[in-house]
Amino acid sequence: MAGGSRQIVRDGILVGVATGAYGVSFGAIAVAAGLKVAQACALSLLVFTGASQFALVGVVGAGGSALAGAATALLLGSRNALYGLRLAPLLGWHGWRRLPAAHLVIDESTAMSMTRDNRSDARAGFISTGISVFLLWNLATLVGSLAGEALGDPRAYGLDAAVGGAFLALLWPRLRDPRNRVVAVLGAAVALGTVPLAPAGFPVLAAAVVALVAGAVSRRDDPTELPERGDPSGGGAS
């Protein structure tokens, strides 16, 4: 293996370790929302895309129907389809190889392979990041859900407030873009306005309409669509 590839693999494993740390909070929050340890672990194994998992747990934990939780998770997961579109020509996998690769298409593996200028580096970034995030995310979910179960009443530890903090941390990097800030404020307003009118889970789905309308009426591309840390430009042409 060339030196450059080794560095890419090392970076991928580092991203896996960092992401695993928030798998612990996912496990704890899932159990606090009323899921069993096995259900939290099944989510990380099968859904394996963080924001969708947090969303499903958040909606179900707030008393929403399982269907509304799944629908919210799918809407959030739709961005992975766009990641796949951009990755397909870069990774160049065909036939059966796409089947295991598809499961690893997430924020982190996309960010760590999109920027490579040749296929072998892109594959090295994608595989090392995808597999290390998968292993550590699932291990961390198990640890977090077992710990959460041992804690008892989640509200005494503020775990209900932790969910809001987790969502905000996921949203934060995108708030550098002014258009995203407008969409975020409108989405929150629509959701809160819908809370007294509809069963739990539907207010979040109502907010999706804001994104669809904003996507139809705005013209500019979103400069923060990929989760790249340490990019200070925010909205510049690059």
Partner 1 sequence: MIWAAIVVAGVGCYLLKLAGLSVPARLLERPIIERSADLLPVALLAALIAVQVFARGTAVVIDARLLGLVAAVVALALRAPFIVVVLVAAATAAVARLV
| Residues between 198 and 227 that touch partner 1 (CB under 8 A) | 199-200, 203-204, 206-208, 210-212, 214-216, 218, 221-222, 225
Answer for which of 5, 11, 37, 65 binds partner 1 (CB under 8 A) is: 65
Footprint of partner 1 on 99-138 (CB under 8 A): 99, 101-103, 105
Binding status of residue 98 toward partner 1 by CB under 8 A: yes
Reading the block at residue 29, the tokens are: 């929050």
Query: CB count, 10 Å around CB of 177?
Result: 18
Which one, 4 or 63, has the nearer CB to partner 1? 63
Binding status of residue 160 toward partner 1 by CB under 8 A: yes
Instruction: Tell me the three-class secondary structure of 83-135, residue by residue.
Output: HHHHHHHHHCCCHHHHHHHHHCCCHHHHHHHHCCCCHHHHHHHHHHHHHHHHH
Answer for which of 11, 93, 139, 228 binds partner 1 (CB under 8 A) is: 93
The burial of 220, by beta-carbon neighbours within 10 Å (0-12 exposed, 13-18 middle, 19 or more buried), is given as exposed
Which one, 2 or 156, has the nearer CB to partner 1? 156
User: Mask: binding to partner 1, 5-24, rule CB under 8 A, as x and -?
Assistant: -------------x--xx-x
The angle that helices 37-46 and 50-61 make with each other, rounded to 10 degrees, is 150
Binding status of residue 146 toward partner 1 by CB under 8 A: no
Binding status of residue 233 toward partner 1 by CB under 8 A: no
Q: CA of 36: how far to CAs of 23, 41, 55, 72, 103, in Å?
A: 16, 9, 16, 20, 23
Q: How far is the CB of 1 from partner 1 (least distance, A)?
A: 25
